[in-house]
Amino acid sequence: MAGGVPPQREIQIQVHSKKGGNSVYPVEPATTTAGGGGGPTGVYREIKHFKKWFPWLIPTFVVVNIVTFFVTMYKNNCPKNSVSCFAGFLGRFSFQPFSENPLLGPSSNTLEKMGALNVNKVVHEHQGWRLITCMWLHGGVFHLLANMLSLLVIGIRLEREFGFVRIGLLYIIAGLGGSLFSALFIKSNISVGASGALFGLLGSMLSELIINWTIYANKIAVLATLVVIIVINLAVGLLPHVDNFAHIGGFVSGFLLGFVFLIRPQFGWVSQRYASNAYSTSAKPKFKVYQMVLWVISLVLLIIGFTSGLVMLFRGVDLNDHCSWCHYMSCLPTSKWSCKTEPAFCMSEQTSSQLTLTCSNSNKTRSYPYSNLSTSQIQGLCSQLCR
C-alpha cells in the first residue's frame, strides 16, 4: 500500500434478534483469499465473547424430567395401591383419581418416596438432597407439560447465547434457591416441580438485560415485555395448591445469578482487543463501572442469602412466625377458593364389610364397601375425602 501504512483490522457490528427486540454484537472478519490469490472475502466469524452455542443441555434436562415422570408413574402403580384409577387401560402407568390429583399424576405418597421436598425429612432425617431432587419431579402430566414447554422456550435461547456451563449452573442454583425459600415457609406439605429453576431463568433474563443494557435496541419495549411476563407468572402463583414461594425464591436467585454469570464485555474493549495495535488509542475497560458494582453486590447477596437460608432451615426456623402476612405471597384467599392446605389425616373404622373414614380437617365422614385395604389405598381414599 502507498506509504507502507498497514491495513486496519476491521470489527464488524451485526444486529441479531434477541428477546423480541434487537441486540448488537461484534464479529471478526476471516481474511481468507478467494482462489488463493485474491483479496479478502466477506466472510466473518463470531468472536469468542459473543459466539453462538449449540443448545444440548436444556433438551437433555427436558428428557431427564420426562423419564423421571415415567419412572414415578411406574413406581406409583395405581391399580395396586389405589381403590380406583383414571385411564386404567394404561395399567400401572394409570393416574390417581381426579378427586385426588387433578393434574393427571401419581399420589403424594409416591412423590415423597421419589424425593419430593419434605421439610421434616430434610431437617430431622438429614435428607438435604431433597432440595435438589424435588426439581426433577412433577405432580402430573399438565404440570410436566407446562414446565417443559416453558423450559424449551426460555432455556434454549439462553443456552444458545451463553453456553451450557453458565446456564446449567444458573438453572441448578436457582432451583436450589427456590426449594430453600419454599422450605422456610411451607412446613406441612410436600413440594415438587421445576418451576423454581424456570423462574430463575426468567429472572436472569431481566438482570441480563439490565447489566448488558448498551447492547440492546428497543430497550424499553423489551423491558416492559419481560416485566409483564414476570408479573403474570407470579400472579398465577397466588392460586391455591401452587408453591409460589418456590417461584419467588427461584426468581430472586436467578435475578442475582444473571448479574454474576451473564455479564458481557463492552464493545469498545472488544473492538480494541481485536483491532490492530497500530490503531489503538487509550485502553478501554472490559466492563463499565455499573456492571462491576452490580456483579459484586449480587455475588455478596447470593452468598449471604444461601448461607443464612441454609442455617435457618436446619435450625428449624419457620419464617411464618416472623412474617404474619407472607403467606399471602403464595396463596390469596377469595370467595371462590380457600388457601388451607394442611395435610390430610383421617380416622378410620373397619368392620367386616365396611370402612368408615373421618377427615380430621373438615370432619367429613364417608363409608366405603371395602375390607382388607392396604395402607396406601386408605391414604388415597383419605386424600379424596379431605379435598
List all residues 6 or more positions away from 19 whose beta carbon is below 8 Å from its beta carbon.
Answer: 157, 205, 209, 216, 222, 225, 226
Question: For the CA atoms of 327, 338, 336, 148, what is the dihedral angle to 10 degrees?
Answer: 70
R_g over Cα of the chain: 27
Give CA–CA dist 93/88, Å, rounded. 8
CA angle, residues 380, 91, 139, in degrees to nearest 5:
50
Catalytic residue status for 195: yes
Catalytic residue among 107, 182, 191, 195: 195
**Catalytic residue of the set 23, 138, 247, 383:** 247
* Rounded-to-integer distance, Cα 292 and Cα 260, Å: 9
> Count of CB atoms within 10 A of residue 30's CB?
11
| CA nearest to 239, candidates 140, 325, 333, 104 | 333
Residue type, 141: V
Among this protein's residues, is 247 annotated catalytic?
A: yes
Place of cell 434487537: 22
Judge contact between 246 and 329, C-beta under 8 A.
no
The single residue listed with the C-alpha cell 428497543 is: 218
Query: How far is residue 238's CA from residue 169's CA, in Å, rounded to a whole number?
Result: 28
| Number of CB atoms found within 10 A of residue 277's CB | 8
Catalytic site positions: 195, 247
